[in-house]
Amino acid sequence: MPVTPGIVASALRNISQPRRRWLGLTVSSCLLLWYLLSQFSETWHLPFLNEDYAFLELARRSSFLEIWTAAELRVGPWFRPWSQGGHFWLVHSLFGTRMVLWHAVSIGLVLSTLVAYFDFVRRAAGFQVGGVATSCVAGLVAWGLLISWTSGVQDLWMILFSLLSLHAATRRRMSWASVAMMGALLSKETAAVLPAIATAWFTFVERLPWRAAARQTGKMWGALLLWVALYALAMRHSPPPPASRNRDRGAKRLECCGDVRDCAAFCSQP
C-alpha cells in the first residue's frame, strides 16, 4: 500500500504528545546538524584570531577559580567571566589548541541554540511554524562569524542561556529562569533585556495585567539587579593596563601565527 501524506498525518496523530515532541526534536536536531556540518565545514581549520590569544594565555596560566576574578577579563565596559574566561579554560583543558575541536564546540552551541529556539516556537505556535521559523533563523549569515571566530562563543552562550531562561519563564519556573539569565549575563551584557521580554510574554501572550506580569517576573528583575551590582563592583576594581598589554601581545603574536601548529607553540610559552 502506498504511503500518502494522509497516512503519515494519521500516524503522527496516533503518537502521544510527549513522544511527538521528542520525535520532532530528534528529527529537527539531525536536520540542523547536517545543515551546519555541510555549510560550515570549511571553517573548522581557521586559527585563533585577535583577543583569542589573550584569553588562551589567561586560561593556560590560571585555575578555574582564578579566572573568574582575573583583571584581564575586566576591560573596557565588558564583564564576561564565563564566555571569555570559563569557556576558554574548560575547552583548553579538554582539547588543548586543536582547532577542529574548538569549532566543534561552537557547532554544538549553535545546534543547541537552534533546537531550543525550535522547541520554544513549537510550544507557542506549533510544529509547522516552529520548523519554518527555525529554518529562517538557521539560514542567517551571522552564524558563520560566530562559528569561525572562537570568541563568537560570547554571543552563542548568551543566546543559548537566554532561550533556556525564556523556556523556564514561560513554564513559570522563575528560579531556573533567573539562574539561566545569570549565565546569559555573564556571557554578554545584552541579555539584560530578558526580564522585559518575559514580562511582555505574560502581558501580551498570557494576557496577565502588567502588574501581575511584573510580579511573576520579580525573581528575574532581582537577578538583573544582582548582576548590575556585580558589574559595577567589577568595573570599579578594573585595572585596564594588564588587559591592554595582554591584548597587544595577542595581536602581535597573531602576526606571526600562520596556522594552528603555531598556536601550540604559543601556549607552551612561559
Q: Is 188 helix (H, G, I), strand (E, B) or coil?
A: coil
Q: Among 156, 161, 155, 152, which residue's Cα sits nearest to residue 183?
A: 161
Backbone angles phi, psi at 207, to 5 degrees: 60, 35
pLDDT, one tens digit per residue, over 132-191 is 999 999 999 899 999 999 999 999 999 999 999 999 999 999 999 999 999 999 999 999
- Cβ density class 117-148: b for 16+ within 10 Å, e for less: bbbbbbeeeebeebbebbeeebeeeebeebbb
Number of domains in the chain: 1
In this structure, the chain runs to a length of: 270
Please check whether residue 148 is in contact with residue 46, taking contact to mean a CB–CB distance below 8 angstroms.
yes
Element containing residue 164 per DSSP (H, E): helix 153-170
What's the rounded mean pLDDT across residues 68-83?
77
All 3 cell numbers of residue 22?
521528542
By CB atoms closer than 10 A (0-12, 13-18, 19+), residue 154 is buried
pTM of the model: 0.81
- Domain interval for residue 51: 5-267
**pLDDT > 70? residue 129:** yes
Q: Render pLDDT for 19-69 as a digit per residue (tens, 0 to 9).
A: 777 887 888 889 999 999 998 888 888 899 888 998 898 888 888 888 887
